[in-house]
Chain A
Amino acid sequence: MGRLADVAVAGVYLTEQGNLSHRTQPSVWWEAVRGACADAGLTLGDIDGLVGDGPQDPGLRERMPAPGLAEQLGRPLRFHARSAVGAGSTAAGLNLAAYAIAHGLAEVVVIANAVAGHAAGYASANRDEAVAAMAKLSGPYEYVYGTTRVSDCAVMAMRHMYDYGTTSEQLAEIAVAQRHGATLHPLSVHGHRGELTVSDVVGSRLIADPLHLLDCCSINQGGGAIVVTSVANAAAAGRHAPVALLGYGEGHSHIDPNAVEKLTEFPAARSAADTAFTMAGVGRDEIDVAGIGDHFTIGVLLGLEDAGFCARGEGGAFVANGGTAIGGRLPTNTAGGFLSFSHAGLCGVFTLIEVVEQLRHEAGPRQVGGATLGFVSGVGGVQQAHSAAILGRA
C-alpha cells in the first residue's frame, strides 16, 4: 500500500465559465476531462477511475455514472466513489481518488464538475430560479421564514462583528483581493468588470445585513476537471511539477444551520484542518497559498480562523490591508474564487485547480512567488461539513 503523498494531481483543465446554457453538461464534462488528461500527458483511454459525476445520463442513470462512462470509454472502470459535502466535495474527492490509487484500486482517476444547459434548480443559469431552489437546502424549521443561503451566512457575520468588532470594510478587503486575481485570469466570470475598491463593496446594495451584493458569490455555469495519478506517473509524463496530496481531514457537525453552539466558530472545520496538518507534518506558517470556500466573504474569514491561520476573532485584522491578496500574508483564492472567478455546481474544483496552478508555478501574473505548500478547504452547505487538504510540490 502506498501513501497519500505518493499521489498527485497530474492534470487540470478549466472550460469557459459564465452562461453555458447553449451547451450540454456532457459536452462540458468531456471537454474538461479530455483537457485535463492532455494536460497530464495522458489520454482518455488511460482513465480507470471516477470520483463524482460523469457525463450525465438521463433519469435514474445519473445515480450510476461509472458504468455509463465505462461504456463510452470502451473499457471497464476499476473504481468509483462519491463524496457528499457540497462545494467541499472536491478536496474530499481528491482524497478518495488518492486512497484508490494508493491502494492499487485504480491508476488514473478523474474528477470533473460540469454545469451547463437548461438545468433546473440550483444549477440553473437563471439567478432567481437558483436562489429559490437553494432556499430549501434548509429544513422547514427555517425555510418557512424566508431564509436564504445569504441570510444563513449574514447572521454569522453579524454575530462576528458583535463579538469581535469585525467590520464590513474588513470583509470587503476579501472581495477586493479576489477581484484583483480575477482580473488576471482570462476565464474568470467577473474579472472583465475590473478592480473593486472597499468603497465599491460596502457601497453595493445590502442583500442580507451586513452582507452586500459584492460580498456574495457569483451564480453561473462552467466546468473544470482534475486528473489524479501516482507521483511517479505524473513525473514520468514530465509535463508539470506534480502536486501531491500531503494531508487531508474532514469534519461533519450539524445539518440544521442553527444547531451548533456558536455561529462564529465551527469545531468541525478546526478538526478537519488539524487532521490535515498533522498528516502532512507541516505548520500553518509554512503555507504559501490557500483556497478557502468563499460563497460569501465571511466564509473566508471564518475559514481562516477555523483552520488556525489566525486566532479566533482576529480574522478581520488578518484580511485587512490586503492580507489575502497576492503578495499578502496568505494569498487566498487567487483566481477570484466563487466571488469573482466562478461559482457553478461542485465549484470546489475551481478552488483546487488554482492552488495546483500556483504550486506548479504556472499561475502567470497571479503567481505567488516560490509557492511550495498550499491549503485547500471546502465547505458543504452552510458550515455543516468541512474538508481540508494540504498540497505540495512533490
Chain B
Amino acid sequence: MSEYQKFLPEDIPDSQRPFWDSLQEHAVRVQRCDDCGTWRYIPKDLCPHCHSERATWTRISGRGEVYTYTVVRRAPTPAYQAEAPYVLAHVTMAEGFRMIASLTGTEPETVKIGMPVEVAYEDVTPEWTLLTFQPAS
C-alpha cells in the first residue's frame, strides 16, 4: 500500500485534538459553549457570541445540507489532481454551523445546493481520519 500523499493536518494545538480524536472514533464532536450554547467550529479558544472560554466537546448529528460547493478540476498537488474532478462541499449542519469536506458517493453533476448530506469517515492513515460528506441515506 502506497504512502498517503495528500495533506495531513499539521500544527494542531492540543486544545483542538478532541475534534480529530473524535473523527478517529467515527463520531464528530464539536465545541459547544457551556455558557450560551453556541457551537464553535472551527475550534477556538473563545466563544464568538459570549466570549466564554468554557466549552464541551459535544457529538453532533452529522447531518446537514449543502450551502455551496465547487468541483475542483485543477488541484493543489499531484496527489489531489489524481482524484480530480472532486467535489468540495460547504455544508450547513443541522446544528447551524458550516463545515467543509469533500463530497463523495455521487457524481459531481448531481450535486445541488440544498441537497441533504451526512458525514462519513475516511481513515487515511493509522493516525488520521478525515471527514467526507455523502448524500443522506
Query: Residues of A at under 8 Å CB distance from B?
Result: 131-132, 134-136, 139-148, 150-151, 154-156, 158-159, 162, 205-211, 256, 258-259, 263
Contact = CB atoms under 8 A, between A and B. Distances in A.
A355 to B, nearest CB: 31
B102 to A, nearest CB: 5
Contact of B11 (A140, A205, A206, A263): A140
A146 B90 contact: no
B1 interface: no
Contact of A208 (B70, B83, B113): B70
A14 to B, nearest CB: 29
B71 A136 contact: no
B100 interface: yes
B100 A142 contact: yes
A143 B42 contact: no
Interface centre among B12, B88, B101 (most CB of A within 10 A): B88
B7 A143 contact: yes
A150 B75 CA distance: 9
B63 interface: no
Contacts of A205: 73
B68 A209 contact: no
Given A145-B100, A154-B70, A258-B100, 14 more contacts: A131-B74, A135-B76, A135-B77, A140-B10, A140-B11, A144-B9, A146-B7, A146-B76, A146-B80, A150-B74, A151-B88, A207-B74, A209-B108, A258-B90
Interface of B: 6-12, 42, 67-77, 80, 83, 86, 88, 90, 98-102, 108, 113, 130
Contacts, number: 98
Contacts of B76: 131-132, 134-135, 143, 146-148
Given A146-B76, A206-B71, A159 B42 contact: no
A284 to B, nearest CB: 28
A152 to B, nearest CB: 9
A209 B71 contact: yes
Given A146-B76, A158-B113, A162-B113, A140 B12 contact: yes
A159 B68 CA distance: 5
Contacts of A148: 72, 74-76
23 contacts: A132-B76, A135-B77, A136-B7, A140-B7, A144-B6, A147-B76, A148-B74, A150-B74, A156-B68, A158-B68, A158-B69, A162-B68, A205-B73, A206-B71, A207-B74, A208-B70, A208-B71, A209-B70, A209-B71, A209-B108, A210-B70, A258-B98, A263-B68
